[in-house]
Structure 1
Amino acid sequence: MESKRIQMGKKPAKKREPKQKKGKSNVFLFKKKAKQPSLKKRKKARFLDQLKISQTYGLVLAGVIFLFIAASAFAGSILMNLNSQMDDLEQKGDQALALSEIGSVFRAKDMVVSDYIFTKDERLVEEFEVQNNQFNDLKEQVDSVMNTQQREAIFQQILSSNEEINTLFFETTIDAVKEEKENMIMYSRIRSADIRSMTLEYLTDLQEDLKADYTASVAKAKADSKQALIILVLSVLAALLVSIILTVLIGRRVNRQLNRVVHNSSEIAKGNLAVLPLEGSGKGDIGQLVSSTNSIAEQLRGIVSQLVAVAGEVKKESRTLNTMSDEVKEGSGQIAAAMNDLTDGAGQQADAAGEISQLIEMLNQEITKTREESDELKAMSEDVLLISDGSRAQIAELAEQMGQMTRLVSNSVQKMNGLEKRTGEISTLIQVIRDISAQTNLLALNAAIEAARAGEHGRGFAVVADEVRKLAVQVDESINEITGIISGVQKETGAVVTTLNEGYEQVEKGSGTMEKTTGTFAGIIESVTNMVSRIQLISKRMDTLTDRSNQISSSSQSIASVSEESSANIQQTAASSQQLNGSMEDMKGSAVSLLTLSDELENKVKQFQV
């Protein structure tokens, strides 16, 4: 009996596992965070960082369209200027032809005077009036070209000669013929011939002056055409070069930044939370995406670090609980065995009941601490779930913005196609000018024929007509060169359309990458949701364990009361002992379940690298 009392009073204590130091986990060690660059060393956000991706490409497209519109407007201005010069040259040709016809009118008047003297035909008087009216019409045509003092003086001499020959015919010749005054008739004939010769000399001087002016205008038109051609080529090449450079630079910038974000997102999705923060700022899409990615990584690092610590503590406490449950179970077994000798060992039973009460008190403290840590773990897991839901909304918004950018680039391609259509309309305008040049060449040929009919007096006009023809040929050649330039513009416009199509393909690839990233984040959220469910299950098990612990505490108090009244209440003590043994079995099962759940939580957390 004495040996039995000794075994009941002094139970062999099992060695407990040494507690691990705080701040460390037996799962894995935390990695040191890489040093982040100081805020003072970061570059200030540039203007493009403040814009959305769609706004950036819209700005580039606006610049390209503006440059091509400016080049097209300049080409139109050059064509209008050439058209104006052609009209001016045509007008000068008409005026030169009118001067030649004025000479013909004077010759005709002189012939009428001569014929009237010899034939005395009154119909010649009407013919003279017709020639005089024709002279007045021609005078109005050439009046605008008399814009210098020298031309005005010569033209006044011609007008005076016309008045003089009119006066000579109507006031002298007609009367002298009717009265048959031979001297006056001879005077009229000689004076008419002198007026004709003098007037033709005046007209020759005017034609020479007009020819010099015409030659200067032709030279100026050639110089202006050559200069305009050079400026047009340079402006079109500059517009194409600037548009291509802007498109390539913006595309490279956006792709480079998106690739960095995609790389970090992929690493986070793989569980590597030790990635370096991305550098970037601004209110644009890229800046917001960089800030969101850095924030997600930082918050996940903090949460996973806390989860690692809590998981280690839960595992440690669950092992302690398991050990203590074994000890309590062993004590309850000893109590059940001692119930057979309860009559002789009431004192020893009281000692065992006191020891059990102390162990249960310690167990209650450990259970309470474990429950508090389980509640903290549950709250942190819910925070992780909220952050994951927020990240899902940000990724969805970014995917929508990528879709808007895709539509914007598609609209840009359509507008560039419209610009190519406009250049085709310019080609139509060039064809109209080419027709005008052909008509001018035909007019010069007709003028040369008329000059040939005029004989010696039309030689100067024939030179002018030949120059008009040459200018028409040169204008036709210039139009051919401009047509080649417009064709080059159309080819370069097609190249820009091709470049925009390639940018559109890159944007579509970026959209595909964002869809993959969205799927990856969905996987992360699903894992976090499963982890939250596990933690909630652990919390429920801890509630059950607390209830069992309270029951054990109540049972230990009952055992103490039974120990004081062991003689009278031996049956009640036996029942309480059996109840205690069943409760300890339940507590043992709960402790094993808690240890299993803590191992699962630890394995889940190991997927992340902090």
Structure 2
Amino acid sequence: MKKAVMFWRNIKIGWKFSFSVMMCILLFAISMMVTFAQLSRVDGHISEMDKLSTSASTITEMGSIFRSMDIAIADYIINPTDENKENYLEKRKKLLDAGDKSKKEFNDPEETALYLKMIQNDKMLNDLFYITIMPAVEQNNSQTLSQARERANVLRDETITALYELRDLKNKERTDAAEDSRSSMEQIAFTLLLALVVSIVLSAAITFVVQRMIIRHFNRVIRFSHEISAGNLAAQDLEYGGRDEIGQLTASQNELKSKMNNMVRQIKKASEELQVRSRELNKASGEVNEGSQHVSATMQELAAGSSAQSNASSDIASQMDDFSRQLEKANEEGAFMRKSSNEVMHLVSQGSVQMNSSSARMNDIMGVMNTSAAEVMNLDGKTKEIAALVTVIEQIAEQTNLLSLNAAIEAARVGEHGKGFAVVADEVRKLAVGVSASVSDITRIVEDFRNVSKNVAATLNSGQLRVKDSASSIKQTGESFEMITKSIRKLDEKIANVDDYLKTIAGGMVLVNRAAEEVAAVSEESAAGIEEVSASVHQSSENIREVAASSDRLKDLSDELSKLVGEFQV
């Protein structure tokens, strides 16, 4: 038991809370597993019900098939055709297939006996059909057919009765399975509710126990910390054998109390000795301070006046010198700015001229582009006229070819007298064919030329738009250059005025700077002697004051330290 307690105390607090959470999860998982197992049983019952329902439907279907077999036999007796015979065989095949499908579901001896009876009756009916009925039909033996028909009716009734009994057994099994499923569902609901209640109660109990154990030890540490903060260093050390966060905190608190106890004892001893030494030092520094105060006061007043005058003169001279250099530098910068503004003004003027020239050139280019586009459009119109003429020529060539053929026909009619005319007609026809070929080439060339002219026109239109945009941009840029030129001219005038002002101020500052240097030199000479005498007196007085102040402060600190140490119980 003790080992278990120590093992529990060595576990981290986070793992302790994790243990309680894992226990809750484990309990809920067990509840879910139990519920899942019972649900699996219910699923088995439902599957069994489906099988039984299917089996009952199959048995009912088998009864219907057996009736249709009897009807097929009756049809064959009335009308002995191959079609009726095939109908009987087809019905019997369906019956046997249905029986083979449901055979494996008949596990009870009574069900098996009923199934075998159905199979036996089917065999007897089949033998009756082939051995008795078919020969009797061929022989037209009505008496045998009547007896066979009665026997078939008996077999039909017995088989249907057996199948209905078998169906009732399956329906009973299905009813039992449904009752078992209902009972299982009620048991699942009760088990789930019980498992949920047990899981919640056990989880709450585990969490409460873990939380109570941790809070109890934390409260002990908190009470111990309050005693230390209240100054009770004689409190008994905490006891906790674990290595978790509480154990580490307990060890830290015990060690803190021990170190504070030792530190307070040493501080108390040093404080008592410090009080004695501070009283002696305070008394000696008071006596020395009274003697030096009179001499120091007089020298300080004299040195303060001389030093203030010297410092003021030096500051004035230094500031005037700095101001003079700044004015000189500002004058140089003003001249440089005036020169730079003139250069910028020149460059801007050149840029404005070039922008005006570029704008004029862009206008010329735009005019050339417009003229070229118009010429190309005119050329496209001329090309259309050429194409029209070529079409006319092609029509003339076709008419000429037709006339030459007519002439050749007429020459052939004339006979020997028309041979010369036939030769001329043949030459005319050849000429018409050549003209047609040339017209085709001309048409192709004209079409290619029109395509090229269209592309050139499109390119010129695109270039015209771009040139127009460029001209607009150059115009805007030229206007911007004009505004920049006006602004730079105004800026140049202002810079010239500032440069003149700076030159005037620089001339006056030279005289002021000389006067300030002379005043500073006289003040420094008069203050030098006083400073040398006052320095030693002032230094001695300051040292004595510091010693006295330190002595008073040391005495106050020693009293305060003794008071603070007295609050601790060691």
TM-score for the superposition, normalised by structure 1 = 0.46
- The answer to which structure has the higher helix fraction is 2
For the pair shown, the structure with the greater C-alpha radius of gyration is 2
TM-score for the superposition, normalised by structure 2 = 0.49
